[in-house]
Amino acid sequence: MKHPGAEIFPASALALARDIDLLILDVDGVLTDGRIYYADSSGLSQGFRGSTPPATGETPALPYASAVGATPPAEGSGEQGGEIKAFHAQDGAAIKMLQAAGIPVAVITGRSSGATARRVSELGIAHVYQGVEDKTAALGTLCSESGMMAERMAHAGDDIPDLALFDRVGMRLSVPQAHPEVAARADYVTAASGGAGAVREICHLILIAKGLWESALTEAGAWPR
Any domain includes 75: no
Any domain includes 73: no
Any domain includes 143: yes
Burial class (CB in 10 A: 0-12, 13-18, 19+), 67: exposed
Q: What is the structure's pLDDT at 5?
A: 63
pLDDT digits (tens, 9 = 90+) for 104-156: 999 999 999 899 999 999 999 999 999 999 999 999 999 999 999 999 999 99
Owning domain of residue 199: 6-33+86-219
Short-list 74, 79, 104, 115, CA closest to 203: 104
Any domain includes 107: yes
Any domain includes 76: no
Q: At residue 69, does pLDDT exceed 50? A: no
**Lowest mean pLDDT, pick from 53-57, 61-65, 84-88, 92-96:** 61-65
The number of folded domains in the chain is 1
pLDDT digits (tens, 9 = 90+) for 70-98: 333 343 343 455 788 999 999 999 999 99
- Measure the CA–CA gap between 84 and 115, rounded to whole angstroms: 6
Any domain includes 27: yes
Q: At residue 225, does pLDDT exceed 60? A: no
* Coil/strand/helix, residue 71: strand
Q: What is the structure's pLDDT at 84?
A: 86
Any domain includes 56: no
CATH number, domain at 204? 3.40.50.1000
Q: Which residues contact 104 (CB under 8 A, 6 or more apart)?
A: 21, 22, 23, 126, 127, 146
Local structure of residue 83 (DSSP, 8 states): E
pLDDT digits (tens, 9 = 90+) for 165-182: 999 999 999 999 999 999
Q: What is the structure's pLDDT at 47?
A: 57
Q: At residue 189, does pLDDT exceed 80? A: yes
- Measure the CA–CA gap between 190 and 198, rounded to whole angstroms: 6
Q: What is the structure's pLDDT at 41?
A: 56
Sign, Cα dihedral of 144, 146, 147, 149: negative
* Residue 20 contacts residue 150 (beta carbons within 8 Å): no
pLDDT digits (tens, 9 = 90+) for 22-46: 999 999 999 999 998 887 755 555 5
Short-list 15, 4, 7, CA closest to 206: 15
Any domain includes 60: no
